[in-house]
Structure 1
């Protein structure tokens, strides 16, 4: 009798559990259906608000800020192009390392996946403006309230500099003229003879103008990003200027990224649109060639700041912490250089 009672108890428990599951599933399905009905009713109102949101832009009070950014950006590219005619810039053949100087450093920081090794010496080649001012591009939108770009539509939209796209949405550039604007203002014509014959005082003036333009661009972008939304992927640094990121499955080049996956969007900052390319900065007290043993003594600086300081421009004090202008230098000896070479 004990076994029979136990079997009956188990059967009643299973039966009661099944009834509970049915009632729970039925209740949850009813709740989901009611939520879906409510969403279907308010969906037209949501779409109407999204369409009307684009009518509030551009904001007239912010147009002058965007125009100031465009002027400062043009001056920045022109002055940097002029400085590169006098001061050489080197970039590594296998990685993104940049150095401002005639001879590259001997610091073993090359970690390119092509060479399949860590902490190797760099192989230096001549650099360009894009090594100092890192280009960041984004999709060009006709208007802010247009639909989200799908993966199949990624070739239907042009790619333009993210700063120009932000200024375009702010009302400083007409959407149909942004491609022509980029071709004209991003490739300034600077003759070699005029720059090489400039005296030292004029070169210092060019460097100061470039550094001033750099600061004005970053200050203006900080204001625009408070008004106009921009997104950046936290894995691959893809930038999208608009209220919501696109759906092009382009995230995934390196191992730590999800291959051909969707982007993980978050709010973009100034460094996402205008990256600070941090490089090793050679100070007057440092040796002619920076060696690996003194890497803890040397300073760092954004590439544009290092280039302007070589031209004689006065660097703002906010960069002094990483540049270490008054810091001690590595006790360099000739035996170290002979071992490295």
Structure 2
């Protein structure tokens, strides 16, 4: 009886040694993540319907912030500029300084982005992906052994096929889309890239540029770090700080002590003093762990958790660091004002001389979640066009991880329409 009580108390306090049952810390971290995804203590998330695409490509994207609010904010800034023409900017990141609370968030987003790319590259080898052959005009993707029969193709000669898709094997680039943007060395003093500079400035994924501006240091893409705020003189940014070398200012991102770089939520503790060793340890640790834990479900849980953490962290960073997108094309720029490169070929670009129509970006513009139809049984029959109103949609990353064995996150349950039972093909006319 006393032994039973001790085991019960140890279970409550979670102090059982892992070696007693032959479990590793990495395995337990997967179990904790799975329980967190399945049995969250948070209340039920609000209902989220299927994403509605734009009716016409000529229509502009909706504004995240209402136009009246933007006009009122611009008027207030104009009045404040007239009242005080020369002033020191106080709030980061507008004054050139980093936001201290978001440096650690940027580190986690960068780590989750690396883990997400690694997980997708391994899951694609086990879960088949289908891609429409009309690559220039149709971006339809399907997770499964056989493509679906839903007639939504908009590619070339789709009318001869009654809008049926012509499927081929897909890859990692079809699961998720990371749009690229221009890397800015100093996003405060020079926030815009000119048209003549388009070949001299590198383009990197926008999620990586967002992490760099929020505090992550990468040797290949340097960024200026200030110790004193800048001044605004009649709307122009003036920097009175003395010129220093690029690597002179330490931001504290890469810790040179013996502490861990990131206490990962996945049970992987990494230490490093520079970028190369940090990235090497990520790939080396994950490669060894993948050889030890060959179960596909564990890898899918890790990938799905990385996706959720990357999206959640990017949303927090975007509240402070402005990201702009074109209202008519997928172009993205991590800066307060966009760039001046005349490369837009979308609707009404002639009236803008090829310039982009910049507006505030959303998380879907920064990380392109390619929405796919959800299949309840991967080995079942292909999806029928007559029953498409009973099917749900979900980002391809989530669908890939769910088909590999990961639990379904609560925020995507309503979008998947798990509570809807689709009838048979001969019963469609009997359903209201």
- State the TM-score bracket (shorter-chain normalisation): 0.7 to 0.9
Instruction: Pick the structure with greater CA Rg.
Output: 1
1:157 aligns with 2:201: yes
CA distance in 1, matches of 2:303, 2:111: 12
CA distance in 2, matches of 1:257, 1:310: 41
Question: Which of the numbers 127, 138, 141 marks the counterpart of 1:98?
Answer: 141
Tell me, what secondary structure is at the counterpart of 2:373? strand
1:203 aligns with 2:296: yes
CA distance in 1, matches of 2:207, 2:376: 32
Taking a change above 3 Å as real, the CA distance of residues 141 and 156 of structure 1, as seen in their structure-2 partners, is same
Higher RCO, 1 or 2 (CA under 8 Å, sep at least 6)? 2
Tell me, what secondary structure is at the counterpart of 1:279? strand
Question: Which of the numbers 302, 313, 316 marks the counterpart of 2:406?
Answer: 313
CA distance in 1, matches of 2:292, 2:208: 33
CA distance in 2, matches of 1:325, 1:239: 34
1:59 aligns with 2:99: yes
Q: CA deviation at 1:46?
A: 6.9
Structure 1: which 4+ aligned runs deviate by more than 6 Å? 46-50, 178-181, 187-192, 194-198
Question: Which of the numbers 214, 239, 242 marks the counterpart of 2:332?
Answer: 239
Q: CA deviation at 1:48?
A: 8.6
Give 2:167's aligned residue. 124
Q: CA deviation at 1:164?
A: 0.6
Give 2:422's aligned residue. 329
1:258 aligns with 2:349: yes
CA distance in 1, matches of 2:103, 2:400: 31
1:270 aligns with 2:363: yes
* Kept in 2: contact 1:89–1:127 (CA 8 A): yes
Q: CA deviation at 1:129?
A: 1.3
Aligned length: 282
CA distance in 2, matches of 1:299, 1:188: 35
CA distance in 1, matches of 2:219, 2:158: 44
Taking a change above 3 Å as real, the CA distance of residues 248 and 285 of structure 1, as seen in their structure-2 partners, is closer
Taking a change above 3 Å as real, the CA distance of residues 124 and 46 of structure 1, as seen in their structure-2 partners, is farther
CA distance in 2, matches of 1:331, 1:196: 43
- Could you give the per-residue CA deviations for residues 137-164 of structure 1, whole angstroms, max 9, x where no partner exists? 1001111124321222222211100011
* Kept in 1: contact 2:179–2:330 (CA 8 A): no
Report the TM-score, using the length of structure 1 for normalisation.
Answer: 0.73
CA distance in 2, matches of 1:129, 1:166: 22
1:174 aligns with 2:218: yes
